[in-house]
Amino acid sequence: MMNDSPLVLIAGDAHTEKAVSARWPKARIGGSFRDLSLLEYVASGIRPDIVVVDVSLSPRGETLEAWVSRFKAAYPSSTVSMLDGSSNRISQDVSEVPGQTTVLGSQTVVIWSPKGGVGKTFLSTNLACAASLASGGNAVLLDMDLCSGDVAVHLDLFD
């Protein structure tokens, strides 16, 4: 049961804040963010009652529905509401939100140093292995040391 002044986290812009103020006039706003990962980090410390997300924001590496599902699993006591910016309509059900887009989750990570022997290959292979495990095998590791690359040795690819 929510109290009269719920603690709200907002993912959106000034229009989202105005819609939240209109919907919950006595709400205590814990923060307003343009990045869902930052909102998630803050939520871990303050445990909001309500999280309002503008549907125009895209989480990195996943769909908005996947982000909401993951957030609800991590914070079951928080209510996630979606704001359709075109109509300023706040909905409780993610399936009501029109026009969801799929986010391509690609990232490029470069490990570089002009000095040899500092652990670039060690770090690169471990990051690639972790990315592969986290993404179900969708990771690429490219060793640009064409003369003496050791990635194959680190991954035990030699016979």
Q: Does 137 have pLDDT greater than 80?
A: no
Indicate whether 92 and 112 sit together in one domain: no
Indicate whether 21 and 92 sit together in one domain: yes
In three-state secondary structure terms, 101 is coil
pLDDT band at 130 (very low <50, low <70, confident <90, very high): confident
pTM more than 0.85: no
Cα angle: 19, vertex 55, 95; to 5 degrees: 105
Q: What is the Cα–Cα distance from 85 to 134, expressed in whole angstroms?
A: 33
Q: What are the pLDDT digits (tens) for 45-86? A: 999 999 999 988 888 888 888 899 999 999 999 999 998 765
pLDDT band at 97 (very low <50, low <70, confident <90, very high): very low
Indicate whether 71 and 28 sit together in one domain: yes
User: Could you list the residue range(s) of the whole structural domain that residue 17 is in?
Assistant: 7-96
Asked whether 82 and 96 are in contact (CB, 8 A), the reply is yes
Percent of the chain predicted with pLDDT > 70: 84
Indicate whether 112 and 146 sit together in one domain: yes
Q: Does a structural domain hold residue 113? A: yes
Q: Of 44, 63, 96, which residue is a domain's last?
A: 96
Asked whether 50 and 56 are in contact (CB, 8 A), the reply is no
Indicate whether 68 and 130 sit together in one domain: no
In the predicted model, what is the mean pLDDT of residues 85-104?
49
In the predicted model, what is the mean pLDDT of residues 132-157?
83
* CATH code for position 38: 3.40.50.2300
The tokens describing 102, both together, are: 């799929």
